[in-house]
Amino acid sequence: MRIPHLNDLYDAGSRLLLESTVRVGVTGLRRAGKTVFVTALVDNLLKAGRLPFLDVMSSGRFQAARLRPQPDPDVPRFDFEGHLAALTGPDPHWPEPTRGIGQMRVSLRYRPDSALKRAVQPVATLNLDLVDYPGEWLLDLPLLRQSFAEWSALTLELAARPPRDELSASWRGWLATIDPMAAAEEETARRGAALYTDYLHACRRADTLLSLIQPGRFVEPGDMKDAPLLTFCPLPPPQAGGSRGRGSLWALMEERYEAYKTNVVRRFFSEHFARLDRQIVLIDVLGALNAGPAGMADMKRALELSLEPFRHGSSGWLDWLLGTKIDRVLFAATKADHIAAHQHAQLRALLDRLVGDARNAIRFEGAQVETMAIAALKCTDSVVTEHEGRQLRCVRGVPVGRDRPTVLFPGEIPEDAEAFPPGRDRPYNFMAFRPPDDLGRDPRGLPHIRVDQALQFLLGDYLL
């Protein structure tokens, strides 16, 4: 057997010390813009011209970044080049949202700030693995703690509230015609699952920006379409004294619900979520404000559920169940460029209040949690204009559906998520904007708001 040479051992130790890897999960609630976020983040790392608040850049220690093959060849690659072309081409437009999971690796070369690392070699490498997955899959995690009866009761209660009551009318009408304790029939189960899936799709399409959609694979089934795993739905509780015996419709639905938890939720998060080191959750707070009180309340509930997986620390339920090791979580209110710059602090404060108590619980368990107001792609400029003798802080950009720049007064962010002006269902109208022209000509990278600060929170300690 060959005895390793001292120099070989030294080189191997140097590689271990000077090449590290961090896996960052990127997810978001409805229409939060995670595809654009990942695209802008990678573009800015590769071009390194717009990241002054990333310490490794401002200190002059950054050398370069490059794309490298991802570590998991069985996971679809995030289509960075295609999405960037959509934003920077001759007809700039928003890229299609990604479906399912995607991954890519960006390797960063830098000069260590650590004297120990510098003593070994002057240059280090950080492999940044970005794992992009739908927010609905994050919202599936709490199912692991709920029985079929508990999940059914909560889902039925939610479906009966406005505005979901109208969207779920066909499914709930069907529930009134069936007996959960009757003998199970496959056609009955398929009919119930189809009506429930239609209801979930209606929630996704709703103008009220409904975010809480479970189970996630019902709306993004992928290769599981029509599988028995997705052929169940919540049921009303049996009448007092009723049997939930084997062979009943209730028993069949319960069995498939448990199979979904085992084969979809537990498997996905053990293979991917449990391997993450850091996590960013993107939230379209402005869209929820546009949707009115119902949309905001639904988003608040979805946020509370999305926070549950991070209440782990060293003894929490997910750490015990899956071995999760996420120690930093960033919640980011996106599209901050849709409001004037002086309102960014208020947008962040509103997000702070939305995550409030749950964030404190996560911090108590030892994980760091931060909130920010960001824009992955800055589409507007803040301007001051005069209207009826008043100075108004506005934004200037090209709204979606128009072809010329417009100056708009977007309104003020409320201090309280529940303090909507009385008498109006939708008192806010924060407009969406097109990507700016000629983005591809700027060698500095895509313009953004605080993407560098997000990177500093997520990666800063790895780049010392």
Per-residue pLDDT of the chain (464 residues; tens, 9 = 90+): 445 544 444 444 445 567 999 999 999 988 899 999 999 999 999 999 999 999 999 999 999 999 999 999 999 999 999 999 999 999 999 999 878 899 999 999 999 997 877 788 899 999 999 999 999 898 999 999 999 999 999 999 999 999 999 999 999 999 999 999 999 999 999 999 999 999 999 999 998 889 999 999 999 887 788 899 999 999 998 875 555 678 999 999 999 999 999 999 999 888 898 899 999 999 999 999 998 888 888 998 898 888 887 765 444 445 544 455 788 999 999 999 999 999 999 999 999 998 887 788 778 778 899 999 999 999 999 999 988 888 999 999 999 999 999 999 988 898 777 767 765 666 788 999 999 998 988 899 999 999 999 999 999 999 99
d(C-alpha 318, C-alpha 310), whole Å:
8
Residue 78, C-beta contacts closer than 8 angstroms, at least 6 positions apart:
38, 98, 102, 103, 104, 130, 132
Residue 333 pairs with which residues in a beta bridge?
Answer: 283, 373
CB 131 within 8 A of CB 69: no
CA distances (Å), origin 174, targets 215, 228, 264: 19, 20, 27
104: burial class by Cβ within 10 Å (0-12, 13-18, 19+)? buried
Residue 279 pairs with which residues in a beta bridge?
Answer: 25, 329
AA letter at 95:
P
DSSP 183: B
The SS3 assignment for 386 reads strand
Residue 3, pLDDT score: 53
At 437, phi and psi to the nearest 5? Answer: -75, 160
d(C-alpha 252, C-alpha 272), whole Å:
29
CA distances (Å), origin 123, targets 7, 36, 45, 62: 18, 31, 17, 10
DSSP 367: -
Q: What is the dihedral of CA 307, 308, 312, 313, to 10 degrees?
A: 30
CB 209 within 8 A of CB 299: yes
Residue 3, C-beta contacts closer than 8 angstroms, at least 6 positions apart:
none
Residue carrying structure tokens 């490794």: 56
Question: Would you tell me how many other CB atoms lie within 10 Å of the CB of residue 81?
Answer: 12
Residue 303, pLDDT score: 86
Task: Specify the pTM.
Answer: 0.91
At 419, phi and psi to the nearest 5? Answer: -95, 70
AA letter at 382:
S
CB 138 within 8 A of CB 281: yes
CB 400 within 8 A of CB 433: yes
At 130, phi and psi to the nearest 5? Answer: -95, 125
At 185, phi and psi to the nearest 5? Answer: -130, 135
Question: Would you tell me how many other CB atoms lie within 10 Å of the CB of residue 247?
Answer: 12
Residue 20, pLDDT score: 94
Residue 425, pLDDT score: 64
CB 41 within 8 A of CB 146: no
d(C-alpha 31, C-alpha 251), whole Å:
36
223: burial class by Cβ within 10 Å (0-12, 13-18, 19+)? exposed
Domains, the chain, ranges and CATH?
A: 18-133+272-379+440-463 (3.40.50.300), 139-268 (no CATH)
Question: Would you tell me how many other CB atoms lie within 10 Å of the CB of residue 347?
Answer: 23
Residues present in the chain in total: 464
d(C-alpha 299, C-alpha 288), whole Å:
7
